Amino acid sequence: MDFFKYIHAVGTGAKANRDLTFEESKDMMSQILNQSVYSEQIAAFLLGWRLKPETTQEFRGVVEACDMFIEKTPVANSIELGYPFDGKVNNPFMFPLIAKVLENSALNLVVVGDDLAPAKKGITLKEVATNIKLNKNIYYFDRADFFKEMHNLTDLRMRLGLRTGLNTIEKLTHVGESEYAITGVFHKPFVKKYVEIFAHKYKRLALIQGNEGTPELFSKGRLWIVNGSDVEEFIVDPQYYGINYSKSWEKITLQESLEQTNNPSDGLLKLARLNAAVFLFVAQKASSIDEAYEKLNG
């Protein structure tokens, strides 16, 4: 379809805008990924789509289109960790520490990195993963290698400088064909949205109120696990496990982030152990977070 019809659908105002069908969304995203239309048209659509706003049906069509471009590499016994591509600003990434805790747990971690995307100007997962020695149970995938079409949109997105619908759908790629996945959400309404978009792709999907939109819990928060058509909610409180870690509210540098990961405090190590327990529970390797935490504390 002529791409202008998609711009018209999202850019003519509240009275004339309309939602795209699944097939239209799939075609729209395919044209964007192929960059078979002008960059100005892509930017115009993404901005209008965000303001309309996007629907779950549209997101599902977009994800279906992305799947046609992603080169997958199966990783057995793995859980995919869905991180945002706009980075972390105030606290270090914990996944390298979590992996060390899980060394003997037969659970591999799949993580994806790329260059910085809007809108936070944070430290990216790619910067950490390429500047630190990763445990053998971490499978790091660079999006420039397995999904270059999305990677190639980075410059355009940075010039636009705003969050778009791509921020919502890009955290979970299923690149390792993992049976399990967990990603961070800021607000409860996004739980239903993520369930409707992604739950069918995984044996078990979990959402967590993680630090800075990541799947890493630094303070008391909610965990939602999808079981068939039901979504079960849990409260995870580090203080319940005797962990009194004070997360930072100040911006840190890449070097400070790497230093905290390479030489973690006792509190950060305990927090990593709790997050590891959450991952084991999500991946059905423990019947509860408490059981997993006790095992990891051996």
Every domain of the chain with CATH number 3.40.1030.10 lies at: 78-296
Residue 148's pLDDT is 98
CA atoms of 32 and 270, how far apart (whole Å): 44
pTM comes to 0.96
- Over residues 126-144, the pLDDT tens digits come to 999 999 999 999 999 999 9
Packed helices 3-11 and 39-51: angle between N→C axes, nearest 10 degrees? 30
CA atoms of 293 and 298, how far apart (whole Å): 9
Residue 247's pLDDT is 85
Task: Specify the 3-state DSSP secondary structure of 80.
Answer: strand
Write out the E strands in the chain: 78-82, 108-113, 138-142, 180-184, 204-208, 221-227, 230-236
Lowest mean pLDDT among 182-191, 194-203, 238-247: 182-191
Amino acid found at 137: N
**CA nearest 84: which of 192, 224, 204, 184?**
184
CA atoms of 184 and 206, how far apart (whole Å): 9
CATH superfamily of 3-67: Transferase, Pyrimidine Nucleoside Phosphorylase; Chain C (1.20.970.10)
In the chain, the percentage of residues whose pLDDT exceeds 90 is 93
Residue 189's pLDDT is 81
CA atoms of 30 and 232, how far apart (whole Å): 35
Residue 44 token pair = 């115009």
Partner residues linked to 80 by β-bridges: 110, 181
Indicate the CATH number of 78-296 among 3.40.1190.10, 3.40.1030.10, 3.30.300.30, 3.40.50.2000: 3.40.1030.10
Residue 246's pLDDT is 86
User: With contact defined as beta carbons under 8 Å apart, do 31 and 3 qualify?
Assistant: yes
DSSP string, 87-112: -BSSS---HHHHHHHTTTTT-EEEEE
| 38: Cβ contacts below 8 Å, ≥ 6 apart | none
CA atoms of 51 and 160, how far apart (whole Å): 14
- Over residues 218-268, the pLDDT tens digits come to 999 999 999 877 899 999 999 999 999 888 889 999 999 999 999 999 999
Across the range 56-61, mean pLDDT stands at 98
Q: Give the CA diameter of the chain.
A: 61
CA atoms of 247 and 219, how far apart (whole Å): 8
Tell which phi-psi region holds residue 235, choosing left (phi > 0), alpha (psi between -120 and 50) or beta: beta
In the chain, the percentage of residues whose pLDDT exceeds 70 is 100
Radius of gyration of the chain (CA): 19
DSSP tally for the chain: helices H, then strands E: 14, 7
Residue 96 token pair = 């390298």
Residue 227's pLDDT is 83
Every domain of the chain with CATH number 1.20.970.10 lies at: 3-67
Mean pLDDT of the chain, nearest integer? 96
- Over residues 3-44, the pLDDT tens digits come to 999 999 999 998 899 999 999 999 999 999 999 999 999 999
